[in-house]
Structure 1
């Protein structure tokens, strides 16, 4: 099955259980045909014996069962629901689990969803995953590509275990999003707050989000209401908004109908054999299968999301029960709770006639030369519209015309690319004189970023090559062609640099995804990317750096970088300030050419700082200035 799926571009992610084996009180034969006895901790088919399960003296609960989610040791060392807890600190257990994962990778799977990850110590998971192989190149994966990993963690806030404990080893599920999107569909004033960093929600590049999943659509694992297929209108609104919005990697649900929360999939023979899924003439499913992923509105919004990937929400409009926004200069989405909207809005898109996706291009939207368009919604059941650049032929009007008619052939082909949200970019080409790389191979590169900060704040950068300008980028830093190999150099050993030195350990990539697997932590705090350190030009201060000739508050990183991986000698980055609300820099409209004794013009415009490999680069947080100079 996996190989057939790979042959047509459908990748498989396996739901894996590494926390436990069978429940106490169970014995007999497993699905693989081997015997087991949970009470005796005997699983000879693996093999596991009593020494492979967490010692009971490490579990603080009286009965050995997880009962207090406020006790980290109880959650991670006791038996979840009586399930026999594997001792993942044991090298033998780690080897056995990695062997299982490697068998799946050899088959050709793309990655793993780690079930019940909060019940496993993060360092144990990191050790297990470090023993896994790269993806199988025989199944069409690029060489040296690491598995895609995300962890199932139900973090509702208020408990000591949170999603950020796992950011260094993959993405994390964000269950709070399901409740927030349900509340937002009920009250549109809440829609722009479905991601709230102040609540500890995972940042966009670490969050795996969903309107519902197999647990919370049945009322498990959520403290509030969630939308499901049973509220078809509101559910389509929630999923479509999620695919249009710029938060997280979106996972779609594909359900079967149920009345009882414990009801299994369609089984017309009552023999325990799941029925085949019948496909109707219109592409929908029958026989009790819901197949939300085949609904036309969701198919079209997946297309929209793929086109606008790498852009951010702009031109936010919310009035009463209506909401609209652009995704950079590539797409526009609008939704009306009443199903009735008729107003002129700024779209941010180039002028032309666009096919409206939800209607499968049986309607068009005209964008005028000033970027405005009349946005009309008059459908109560499908009260939203979307259009985007490239979703049909977009033409720029000549001076004596405002629109050009395009074909309205319905777009019903299922997209073949993964639905993801990536770090914001804008894609406005800029014609400049190209600058060739000054060096080949790995050379010293320095960045200074001016920012006055408060005690307790730190600055990190994410970056590499703008994903809109290099094809083939992935969401795995280790294999991403948009990520750059780096070695972050020491800047000293005084106590003021302890955080920088801790976070630079294991940071081998300038990438768009935050902390790498294996990157160092400081007092339990996970890095948010490649670290910078506060420096001064005052030679009497402990934070003095010789290369800083500019003054106080110039945050610095010193790297060895491979210029051959850059884009004509240039690369991009965006900064994040901790303990400062959202913390992200504003979009950058960088001055070109840069000043300095080297200077130079960026090869194309982006919303990031653009720096030169092999030189000393000076910028300002959220500022447009740039200076490029020779290193002494």
Structure 2
């Protein structure tokens, strides 16, 4: 069963918010008849390890006004104890009680985000339970053993694959190992059995009862596609779904096998961005998704980095500063996939969890007054990439661009330009010299504010005359103009 995204519901809620969020743009003229400059975008943001209370506040104060369409939470279920980030991915029960907040706080957050026009998606851990060999007690007091979770799962509900030492996955060229052996000792659920499937479906239905709009299916690659389909099948039509299926060169388990269940995160896109901006030409970024090795655009959720890749170094991360900012600009300017912005905390120890109080509760996230690529946050402080000026401005650009086609593509050395129909134009200069050139554009004639170069008392203006515009873009910088910001 295919579960489409909930964009239609987002659009309906966004229409009611036009007047509420128009104030920040009141000093600027809007463009000619065409897209509403206050329209909601399709952009999501993963607020990694943010508490439910902090997400609620952020939806109201920044995500809604900035035009974000949806927010992805960390796993909401009860988990093992420990300070590390990965404890959140070791479920003890399906109770919505975690170090990020209570069930009541989660439900209140969802309602608050909806009021701000932002959908809420939850990270759902379905493939496994804990990786702890010794019995223990979870965050909310539930007792457990490695293969025993009272009132949930017993030993017969888990795989013991017998295909590798310790039943751990050792060969990713063996599909049976990938989907029935344990991922780093995590107790692997027998998702082919009716009982396990029904239990997992009940958990997802509980999340939906709290108002959740969509689900990220964690480690979907480690479950057979038919098992994922069976768990999702009873859910209401319109439930958003995106699956984590990491693409591996030559591996027998591929993202394409899961598309019948819904979209997937296309890891090849993030890998490609890292290559194009880490020594290649930024113009190559516009080709990502057009050739073999990528799922179709409608099936792809794309990102610059996520909580795993920023730790394993396979993609760019906020530590890459300006390069990372430019990668986000290119992702949000382009037409391939549904973009997901990542926002986490600074760390030097890849296992380190977020800042916590003496009882282990995660502290509410706070953002500095001026987050951005030049900042150097200390370990444990929030990087707030979703608030970086380049990122927020491009979320609004994408909302205005809507479904406009890619036009006016131009490249020269380390610079690239692309238009989005008659609605917008973006130039990225990854080089070491200022870029000065004249470009063709479909933008209607007039004067436009550069939304990536805000000025305290006005805006940096570019004038379009007879389909031509002269631009000056700083080294390691970007400029963007759209019909929602006319001087």
Give TM-score scaled by structure 1 length.
0.56
2:384 to 269, 285, 291: 291
Distance in 2 between residues matched to 1:283 and 1:332, nearest whole Å: 25
* Alignment pair present for 1:77 and 2:193: no
1:65 aligned to which of 134, 156, 168 = 168
Give the whole-Å Cα distance in 2 for the aligned partners of 1:85 and 1:36: 15
User: Structure 1, residues 395-430: CA drift from partner, whole Å, max 9, x if none?
Assistant: xxxxxxxxxxx3xxxxxxxxxxxxxxxxxxxxxxxx
CA contact (8 A) 1:184 1:194 kept: no
Distance 1:282 1:107 in 2: 34
Contact 2:435–2:475 (Cα < 8 Å) also in 1: no
3-state SS, counterpart of residue 237 of structure 1: helix
Q: Deviation per CA, 1:316-364, whole angstroms, max 9, x where unpaired? A: 1111121111112211111112351111110112111111111236111
1:42 pairs, out of 140, 145, 148, with 148
Aligned partner of 1:105 among 208, 214, 230: 208
Partner residue of 1:374?
470
Q: Which residue of 2 aligns with 1:17?
A: 125
Cα separation, partners in 2 of 1:230 and 1:98, compared to 1, 3 Å: same
Question: Counterpart in 2 of 1:363?
Answer: 460
Q: Residue in 1 aligned with 2:438?
A: 344
Q: In the alignment, does 2:233 pair up with 1:130?
A: yes
How many angstroms does 1:24 deviate by?
Answer: 5.2
The whole-number CA distance in structure 2 between the counterparts of 1:192 and 1:203 is 14
> What is the aligned-residue RMSD (CA, Å)?
2.1
CA offsets, 1:501-543, max 9 Å, x none?
xxxxxxxxxxxxxxxxxxxxxxxxxxxxxxxxxxxxxxxxxxx
Task: Report how many aligned residue pairs link the two structures.
Answer: 368
The equivalences for 1:390-401 within 5 A come to 391-393=484-486
Native 8 Å contact 2:221 2:244 kept in 1: yes
- Is structure 2 residue 190 aligned with structure 1 residue 87? yes
The structure-2 alpha-carbon separation of the partners of 1:192 and 1:230, relative to structure 1 and needing over 3 Å to count, comes to: same
Which residue, out of 190, 208, 215, partners 2:308? 215
* Cα contact 2:448–2:462 (8 A) shared by 1: yes
Gaps of 5+ in 2: 1-108
Residue 271 of structure 1: CA displacement?
Answer: 5.4
How far apart are residue 173 of structure 1 and its match?
1.1
Tell me the TM-score normalized by structure 2: 0.72
**Counterparts of 1:270 and 1:259 in 2: how far apart (Å)?**
21
Q: Is the 8 Å Cα contact of residues 333 and 397 (structure 2) preserved in structure 1?
A: yes
Measure, in 2, the Cα distance between the counterparts of 1:273 and 1:84: 25
For 1:271 and 1:195, locate their aligned partners in 2 and report how far apart those are by CA, in whole Å.
45
- Report 1 or 2 for greater relative contact order, CA contacts < 8 Å, sequence distance ≥ 6: 2
Greater percentage in helix:
2
Q: How does 1:27-426 map to 2 (within 5 A)?
A: 27-38=135-146, 41-46=147-152, 48-54=153-159, 56=160, 59-132=162-235, 134=236, 146-185=238-277, 186-188=279-281, 189-198=283-292, 200-219=293-312, 222=314, 226-267=315-356, 272-282=360-370, 288-337=381-430, 338-360=432-454, 362-369=459-466, 371-377=467-473, 379-380=474-475, 383-389=477-483, 391-393=484-486, 406=487
Asked if the contact 1:59–1:73 (Cα under 8 Å) also holds between the matched residues in 2, the reply is: no
Query: Do the aligned partners of 2:286 and 2:334 also contact (CA within 8 Å) in 1?
Result: no
Instruction: Give the Cα separation in 2 of the matches to 1:270 and 1:233.
Output: 36
Secondary structure of residue in 2 paired with 1:272: coil
The SS at the match of 1:212 is coil
Quote the Cα distance in structure 2 between the aligned partners of 1:281 and 1:170.
38
Contact 2:344 2:382 in 1 (8 A): yes
- Partners of 1:123 and 1:59 lie apart in 2 by 22
What CA deviation, in whole Å up to 9, does each residue of 1:66-111 have, x standing for no partner?
1111111111111221211111111111111010000000000111
Whole-angstrom CA distance in 1 between matches of 2:419 and 2:137: 56
Task: Evaluate the alpha carbon distance shift between residue 194 and residue 270 of structure 1 in structure 2; reply closer, same or farther with a 3 A threshold.
Answer: farther
The answer (yes or no) to whether the contact 2:179–2:222 under 8 Å persists in 1 is: yes
Deviations 1:128-163 (Å, cap 9, x if unpaired)? Answer: 10122x3xxxxxxxxxx5211001111132101111
| DSSP 3-state at the match of 1:104 | helix
Aligned-pair CA distance for 1:275:
2.9
Q: For 1:281 and 1:119, locate their aligned partners in 2 and report how far apart those are by CA, in whole Å.
A: 41
CA distance in 2, matches of 1:85, 1:277: 32
Equivalents in 1 of 2:182, 2:347: separation in Å? 30
User: CA offsets, 1:199-245, max 9 Å, x none?
Assistant: x212211111111111111116x3xxx22111211111111111111
Matched with 2:96 is none
| Separation of aligned partners in 1, 2:346 and 2:359 | 18
Q: Which residue of 2 aligns with 1:477?
A: none
Paired residue for 2:31?
Answer: none
* Aligned mates of 1:248, 1:81 — CA distance in 2: 31
